[in-house]
Homo-oligomer: A and B are copies of this chain.
């Protein structure tokens, strides 16, 4: 279902030959209207790929008719030629759809520093356009995979309207981290302003809190397109919640498919003085390599949680900190708590609760363990 679950959208996914292994590598998502509203959030990395620079301009144009996405190359750090290639891709999509290029968002993912094979990409756009279908969402989701082992889609259907989406990647964005691309679609009839508000609210507590390896991508993009074709304008709160649910579901799928991971780690920070404190502490814990290794070894090493908390500027007293791992309060009042041998870590999901005892705010960050497979996957070849 994916991006074509909502009415007013067609999609396609094909193998254009960008990837040397012949796997699908080009996706096209088209908003057939009647409305062509859109919102987008992009990587906060200051080194932005050409397609991000282009798509940020597209967002300012006010309407988005199509998104073209390629895997097999990030088109980042490719200079003026890279930007020209992105522009030419948008022009090609515009030409085959009979729309303006400034209404065509472009997303790319893959290795940084390589120019895209335009002699394959541009004909690929024509092939994809010829295969556009209301049932093409699945194929589009497959075509944007890089090191993803599975494609990721999600759909929430409400009373007469739908939010659907697809995602690729394995990591985090601020929106900023990891080579993550997401396209969401809805047939609800909403203007850009509401879409933007709902998308920013949703990403703030979902994708923004998925932190696989602390590394920030040059290409991260999350787009939300609205066709209005359901002819329904939902209440904002209900719509925002549906967008949040789809983002949350896709974010969870990203974590579960993170490179080399054997554990999904839910870091829940409670009783923080502020939400910012909770996020800062959660992120510090989630990025601690020593802790991530310990979790991989099924070692409830709460000392590494405390040392990660200690590096933050959050409000807390060291001797009031409490830490639970999978329900066992292994650290109480900054020292030894319940018997760590009670902690059962056999399962894939690990739940760490860090109690700052400094207020009533909370935040949850999702991460993975650090494994030899992660090292292998990121050292054995360029990505």
A296 contacts B375, CB within 8 Å? yes
Q: How far is the CA of A333 from the CA of B111 in the complex (A)?
A: 18
Cross-chain contact B372 with A336 (CB below 8 angstroms): no
B310 and A47 within 8 A (CB) = yes
Query: Are A45 and B382 closer than 8 Å at their CB atoms?
Result: no
Assess whether A362 is interfacial by the CB under 8 Å rule: no
On whether the beta carbons of B45 and A310 are closer than 8 Å, the reply is yes
User: How far does the alpha carbon of A299 sit from the alpha carbon of B213 in the complex, in Å?
Assistant: 19
Query: Is A47 a contact of B309 with CB atoms below 8 Å?
Result: yes
CB neighbours of A74 from chain B (8 A): 303
From B48, B113, B374, A303 is in contact (CB under 8 Å) with B113
Known: A79-B334, A216-B310. A382 touches B47 (CB 8 A): no
Pairwise interchain contact A375-B334, C-beta atoms closer than 8 A: no
Which of A63-71, A131-139, A285-293 interfaces with chain B? A285-293
Inter-chain contacts of A79 with B (CB < 8 A): 319, 333-336
Considering only CB atoms, which chain B residue lies closest to A289 in the complex? B213
Confirm or deny: A274 has a beta carbon within 8 angstroms of a beta carbon on chain B.
no
Hey, which chain B residues are within 8 Å of A374, CB to CB? 289, 293, 375
Is chain A's binding surface mostly helix, strand, loop or mixed? loop
The reply to whether A335 and B82 form a contact with Cβ atoms under 8 Å apart is yes
**In this complex, what residue of B is CB-closest to A378?**
B293
Chain B residue nearest to A82 in the complex (CB): B335
Interface check A343, CB cutoff 8 A? no
Q: Which chain B residue lies CB-closest to A113? A: B303
Interface residues of A in 33-51 (CB under 8 A from B): 44-48
* A-side interface size class: 35 or more
CB of B382 within 8 A of CB of A77, answer no
Bound complex: CA A268 to CA B87 (Å): 36
Are the CB atoms of A304 and B371 closer together than 8 Å? no
List of B residues within 8 angstroms of A333 by Cβ = 79
| B residues less than 8 Å from A289 (CB atoms) | 213-215, 289, 370, 374, 378
On chain B, the residues within 8 Å of A112 by CB distance are 301-304, 306-307
User: Are B113's CB and A331's CB within 8 A?
Assistant: yes
A215 with B290: CB separation less than 8 A = yes
Interface contact B294-A218, CB-CB below 8 Å:
no
Q: When chains A and B are docked, how far (Å) is the Cα of A331 from the Cα of B335?
A: 49
Chain B residues positioned under 8 Å from A294 (CB to CB): 378-379, 382
25 contacts between A and B (CB under 8 A): A44-B311, A46-B310, A46-B311, A47-B309, A47-B318, A48-B310, A48-B318, A77-B302, A77-B334, A79-B336, A176-B311, A213-B290, A214-B287, A214-B288, A215-B289, A218-B303, A289-B370, A290-B378, A293-B377, A293-B379, A296-B375, A299-B381, A370-B379, A372-B376, A374-B375
